[in-house]
Amino acid sequence: MKRRVAITGIGLISPHGDTPDCVFDALLAGHSAVTLWDEGSAPPAAVARAPFDPARWFTRLQLAGVDRVSQIAVAAAQMAREDAGMDTLAPSTGVYVGTGMGGANAVEESFRSHYGSGRVPPLSVPAFMPNAPAAHVAMREKLHGPVYTYSIACASSAVALAEAAKAVAHGEMDCALAGGTEALLVPGAIRAWHALQTLARVDDEPWRACRPFSADRTGLVLGEGAAFLVLEAFDDALARGARIYAEFAGSGVSCDATHLTKPDATGQVKAITAALRNSGMAPGDITYCNAHGTATSIGDVVECAALERVWGDAIGNLAVSSTKSIHGHLLGAAGALEAVVTVLAIHRAAIPPNMHCREQDTQCGITLVREPGHFVPSINAAISNSFAFGGTNTTLVFKRAT
Amino acid sequence: MNTLEQLTQLIHDKFDIEKSSLQPDLPLSEYGLDSLALAELLFTIEEEFNVKFPDRPENIDTLKKLAVAIDELRASQPV
């Protein structure tokens, strides 16, 4: 017998800040957090940096061997727990973390040292290992349940959330701390993305470089940040009088198994339909889709094709936006941040806009929410899509807590 | 400044530990330095003092022993 799962806590270190309500207000207003990155050692790029002061969370001694990707994870996880109104979590709580690259700063530094001075910092390995963020969260929160790391490119934290929700639903644990973290705004990593020819072209308006579903889109904008959610058995949350942002209704995961980087509508349809089936919903129940929408030329078209196949003639009734247009692509943390956006859309009954789309691509036959401040009192359920390099597709379904 | 004083300053700068709390004979673990932090510290000392520790320095668990080890290395590894 599956149990219902409640979302009771949100913690963020994001390009728009670290307070869920303020972040959502900024998104709803359509404010872009994208700025120019130009450090001389690589071609300039538009990026979304997350403001973060490590001194708020760590002593200098505690920072030894702790990469930025772990620092922001610890901060976001702690804020999620506090936001859930809990001083401590039960030791049996599970930790589910998604990250694409792990400790990119430590990777960069170790290679720089290797080719430079030849003296590689001794804590490079514990700093850059991909499961370091989850381990640091577990140590900080004193959690002894399962501690898992998912590295599935852009779907990493969406899968982490899906797995955590399943564990709670099936009674493996009563509570999970789940989310994602990514911090790879370092020259080597940015240059690698640049070389793949996926990054948005930089002009004199870097803040509008990411233009999902727009006819003039040129690519994605890298972002950094961490987002965590507290998932609890719904009845437990009710019993302790917790604020419930939304119910985690279900998820669907599939793999294209066709191409490493080229998305495939058939695979995406499988994830979306599985997610709807698992959550007991029909397309008509869903008001809003927070799209994967990275603003690559092929990705946006394929995602629209998948949505159109599932929604059919009713596609016009589904409101869609890619908030990546203003917070960038957080890669391994994207699924978690966008889950937060989707959950808050339901909680606040408002849909953040898809910015910077002056003229919608005619191949993208979806109803885009393009204007800021779009309130939707009737929103009852919403989905968030995360489609990864490697072909793994994940759709998460959330619904109003009733 | 002698080596011990230099070392005290370096640990203060690197880990933000109060200089007044740093005592020559107190085990380093008393300040919260675990094996990882010690590895990081030795790496920094090598850079700052221009010395090279043997691969796995043993029995260095106080500031005084660390200062003595640095002085010995400096004497045996002339720049």
To the nearest whole Å, the CA of A121 is away from the closest chain B CA by 7
* Domain assignment present for A20: yes
User: How high does pLDDT run on average in chain A?
Assistant: 97
| Of A5, A29, A17, residue with least CA distance to A350 | A29
One domain for residues A77 and A156:
yes
One domain for residues A61 and A187:
yes
Last residue of a domain, one of A239, A270, A287: A239
Name residue, tokens 């009674």: A171
**Which chain A residues have a beta carbon less than 8 Å from that of B46?**
119
A31 is catalytic: no
Summarised one tens digit per residue, pLDDT across range A319-344 is 999 999 999 999 999 999 999 999 99
Summarised one tens digit per residue, pLDDT across range A272-314 is 999 999 999 999 999 999 999 999 999 999 999 999 999 999 9
| Of A143, A170, A174, A145, residue with least CA distance to A74 | A143
| Among B17, B33, B40, beta carbon nearest to A123 | B40
- The first and second tokens of residue A301, run together, are 């078209």
Choosing from A16, A210, A289, A292, the catalytic residue is A292
One domain for residues A255 and A167:
no
**Which chain A residues have a beta carbon less than 8 Å from that of B37?**
61, 64-65
Amino acid at A124: S
Q: What percent of chain A has pLDDT over 90?
A: 98
Mutation pick from B41, B43, B46 vs chain A, by most beta carbons of A within 10 Å, is B43
Task: Label residue B60 by pLDDT band (50, 70, 90).
Answer: confident
Cβ atoms of residues A394 and A253 within 8 Å: yes
Q: Is B54 on the interface with A (CB under 8 A)?
A: no
* Domain assignment present for A394: no
Indicate if the alpha-carbon torsion angle A133, A78, A183, A160 is positive or negative.
positive
Instruction: Report the distance separating Cα B28 and Cα B66, nearest Å.
Output: 10
Cβ atoms of residues A7 and A230 within 8 Å: yes
Summarised one tens digit per residue, pLDDT across range B3-53 is 999 999 999 999 999 999 999 999 999 999 999 999 999 999 999 999 998
Q: What pLDDT score was predicted for residue B77?
A: 74
Instruction: Report the distance separating Cα B68 and Cα A100, nearest Å.
Output: 45
Cβ atoms of residues A49 and A85 within 8 Å: no
Q: What pLDDT score was predicted for residue A391?
A: 97
Predicted model pTM? 0.96
* Domain assignment present for A245: no
**Which chain B residues have a beta carbon less than 8 Å from that of A116?**
none
Cβ atoms of residues A340 and A229 within 8 Å: yes
* Domain assignment present for A215: yes
One domain for residues A222 and A357:
no
Amino acid at A377: P
Burial label for B59, CB within 10 Å (0-12, 13-18, 19+), is exposed
* Domain assignment present for A158: yes
Last residue of a domain, one of A239, A262, A295: A239
| Of A114, A34, A108, residue with least CA distance to A67 | A108
Residue A310, domain CATH: 3.40.47.10
How many residues in total does chain A contain?
402
One domain for residues A225 and A257:
no
Residues with Cβ < 8 Å from A78, sequence gap 6 or more? A11, A57, A140, A141
* Domain assignment present for A398: no
Task: Label residue B78 by pLDDT band (50, 70, 90).
Answer: low
What one-character-per-residue DSSP string does A16-71 give?
TBS-HHHHHHHHHTT----EEE--SSS--EEEEPPP--GGGT--TTTTTT--HHHH
Summarised one tens digit per residue, pLDDT across range A131-164 is 999 999 999 999 999 999 999 999 999 999 999 9
The DSSP secondary-structure symbol of A262 reads S
For residue A117, the chain B residue with the least C-alpha distance is B47
HEC assignment per residue over chain B? CCHHHHHHHHHHHHHCCCHHHCCCCCEHHHHCCCHHHHHHHHHHHHHHHCCCCCCCCCCCCEHHHHHHHHHHHHHHCCC
* Number of structural domains in chain A: 2
A154 is catalytic: yes
Domains along chain B with CATH numbers:
23-76 (1.10.1200.10)
Q: B79 pLDDT exceeds 60?
A: no
Q: Determine whether the interchain pair B43/A64 forms a contact, defined as Cβ–Cβ distance below 8 Å.
A: no
Q: A199 pLDDT exceeds 70?
A: yes
One domain for residues A263 and A343:
yes
| Of A243, A219, A97, residue with least CA distance to A163 | A97
Output the CA torsion A91→A154→A163→A139 (10° steps).
-10
Find the DSSP H helices in A260-373: 265-278, 297-311, 324-327, 334-348
A327 is catalytic: no
Summarised one tens digit per residue, pLDDT across range A39-78 is 877 889 999 999 999 999 999 999 999 999 999 999 999 9
To the nearest whole Å, the CA of A103 is away from the closest chain B CA by 17
One domain for residues A381 and A233:
no
β-pair partners for A367: A319
Q: What pLDDT score was predicted for residue A345?
A: 98
Enclosing domain of residue A218: 5-239
Q: What pLDDT score was predicted for residue A379?
A: 97
One domain for residues A14 and A162:
yes
Cβ atoms of residues A269 and A363 within 8 Å: no
One domain for residues A169 and A308:
no
To the nearest whole Å, the CA of B5 is away from the closest chain A CA by 19
Cβ atoms of residues B27 and B61 within 8 Å: yes
Residues with Cβ < 8 Å from A87, sequence gap 6 or more? none
One domain for residues A230 and A260:
no
Q: A225 pLDDT exceeds 60?
A: yes
| Among B17, B31, B39, beta carbon nearest to A122 | B39
Q: Determine whether the interchain pair A65/B36 forms a contact, defined as Cβ–Cβ distance below 8 Å.
A: yes
One domain for residues A173 and A285:
no
* Domain assignment present for A90: yes
Q: Determine whether the interchain pair A122/B31 forms a contact, defined as Cβ–Cβ distance below 8 Å.
A: no
Q: Can you tell me the mean pLDDT for B64-77?
A: 91
Q: What percent of chain A has pLDDT over 70?
A: 100
* Domain assignment present for A401: no
One domain for residues A11 and A130:
yes
Q: Is B30 on the interface with A (CB under 8 A)?
A: no
Q: Is B53 on the interface with A (CB under 8 A)?
A: no
Q: What pLDDT score was predicted for residue B1?
A: 83
Last residue of a domain, one of A193, A216, A239: A239
Instruction: Report the distance separating Cα A60 and Cα A62, nearest Å.
Output: 5
Q: Determine whether the interchain pair A61/B39 forms a contact, defined as Cβ–Cβ distance below 8 Å.
A: no
Instruction: Report the distance separating Cα A401 and Cα A73, nearest Å.
Output: 27
Indicate if the alpha-carbon torsion angle B63, B65, B69, B71 is positive or negative.
positive
What one-character-per-residue DSSP string does A142-209 give?
T--S-EEEE--GGGHHHHHHHHHHHHHHTTS-SEEEEEEEE---SHHHHHHHHHTT-BPPP-S-GGG-
| Of A251, A88, A80, residue with least CA distance to A178 | A80
